[in-house]
Amino acid sequence: DAGVTQSPTHLIKTRGQHVTLRCSPISGHKSVSWYQQVLGQGPQFIFQYYEKEERGRGNFPDRFSARQFPNYSSELNVNALLLGDSALYLCASSLDHEQFFGPGTRLTVL
């Protein structure tokens, strides 16, 4: 079975631009979570969605938003990009307690 997929793999943007990251969960998983990981740190929680409803939000500004679609795939949107948004963005899907990560999207903001 396919694991969690994310697109794009890499992305380069300039300050002030907007970005959309995409995630498809493991088949049968209804929950998707988004994390930001900067170098040398553990992943930081951004959002969790379950059955298209937001179930949790981390300590990130309103420039960050997300949604989940009827097929359980998800998008993470970031507006007005800042240099500090450069990071690895991880999507994780879960059926129960265990979360399985996709390969991530490496975002570089110049």
Nearest distance, CB of residue 16 and other proteins, angstroms: 28
Of 40, 53, 70, 84, the one binding other proteins by CB under 8 A: 40
Q: Are residues 94 and 33 in contact, defined by beta-carbon separation less than 8 angstroms?
A: yes
Task: Retrieve residue 35's tokens.
Answer: 């994390």
* Total binding residues toward other proteins, as defined by CB under 8 A: 23
* Distance set, CA 71 to CA 16, 27, 38, 74 (Å): 31, 10, 29, 9
The distance in angstroms from the start CA to the end CA of the chain is 37
One-letter identity of residue 61 = P
Virtual torsion, Cα 80, 81, 83, 89, nearest 10 deg: 150
Residue 64: CB minimum distance to other proteins, A: 14
Q: Which of 18/51 has CB closer to other proteins?
A: 51
**51-80 positions binding other proteins, by CB under 8 A:** 55-56, 58
Of 50 and 75, nearer to other proteins (C-beta) is 50
Binding site for other proteins (CB under 8 A): 33, 35, 40-45, 48, 55-56, 58, 88, 90, 92, 97-104
